[in-house]
Amino acid sequence: MIRAGLAGLLLAIGLLGSALPARAEQVLTVEVLATKAAAMETGPAEVNILLRLTDESGIDVLRPEGGCDSALPGIGQTATECYALAIVENSVPVGRYSYRILETRSTDSFLLVTYPSTATGDRRASLRIDYNGFTNHDPETVLMLSDYDNGTLDPKDPFESLHRLYAGKLKAFAAELAENLPSEVNDAAAKSWRDAFMAAQRKWAQFVESDCVLAARLAGEAQRSRCLADRTMERIDQLDTSFSPD
């Protein structure tokens, strides 16, 4: 009975499919990681925001790497592979924006958003991200842009900011793991476990250094920051999978 009902619902939705209006479902979490506002020689200032999007839908709402511009017709619809953004800065809607999807890994995606800004003084902004009806939580929340990473974002090398932020997270996580050993490690074995863990972290740091020198030589200096950021994010996942207490 239930299966028949489900099949009927699926059939009806499948047939109506594109005729149904897209509905707003809040499945994305937006986190501002870093910002930078730079005065330009002519015209308005340029604001850059590094964002992390986290997808809770379980159906791969996040888009792959690429560049998007608000001038793109139909932006926010699936055919464009781009999110539509609605940015309100100091109560004024931002008319034109562009962004790069720097990287999408698992349920996280990183965006570098750029827009011209005529605001003066402190900048406060709200962000709504929409991909065919899937939106972020709390899109009306007003964020104080200068609060994030002290304006140190380099728009030409956003992976450097990512690396710095995740290196801090990794350091804190590794310290936490060194203090909270897996339950199967008894007190007598704690010191040797901790020593081995710290040695493993040093070996990993040595590997990342040499691997990212290689990446820079192979693919250009800009790849060094990306390599460092990628390896650091991956290491957090590795530690979580391998060494987190049960």
Partner 1 sequence: MRRAFAVIAGWLVAFAPAIAAAADAPVPSIDVQVIAATTSAQNDVTLVLMVTGDGLDPSALPADSDQCDGSGYTRGEDPPEVACYKIVATENGQPVSALSYQQLFNHGTVGYLQLRYHTPVEPRHARTLRIDLSFTLGNDVVRNRNPEAEIDMAGFSSDAFPDPDNPWAPLYAFQDRRLNALYAGLTGSPQVAGDPELRSLATKAEQDWVASKEADCSAPLMPTPLEVDWCRTLRTTDRIDHLSVLPRSVAGATP
The contact set with partner 1 (CB under 8 A) reads 2, 6-7, 9-11, 13-14, 17-18, 20, 22-23, 25, 57-61, 77-79, 131-134, 184-185, 189, 192-193, 196-197, 199-200, 203-204, 206-207, 209-211, 213-214, 217-219, 234, 238, 241-243
Distance (Å, whole) CA 150 – CA 146: 6
Closest contact distance (angstroms) between CB of 234 and partner 1 is 6
> In whole angstroms, how far apart are CA 33 and each of 5, 77, 147, 165?
45, 26, 10, 8
Give yes or no for a contact between 218 and 210, defined as CB atoms under 8 angstroms apart. no
Closest contact distance (angstroms) between CB of 197 and partner 1 is 6
Closer Cβ to partner 1, 173 or 243, answer by number: 243
Closer Cβ to partner 1, 65 or 147, answer by number: 65
Closer Cβ to partner 1, 120 or 210, answer by number: 210
Q: At what angle do helices 158-179 and 222-243 cross, to 10 degrees?
A: 20
Closest contact distance (angstroms) between CB of 63 and partner 1 is 12
Distance (Å, whole) CA 175 – CA 244: 12
Q: Which residues pair with 89 in a beta bridge?
A: 92, 125
Grouping H, G, I as helix, E, B as strand and the rest as coil, residue 134 is: strand
Closer Cβ to partner 1, 20 or 142, answer by number: 20
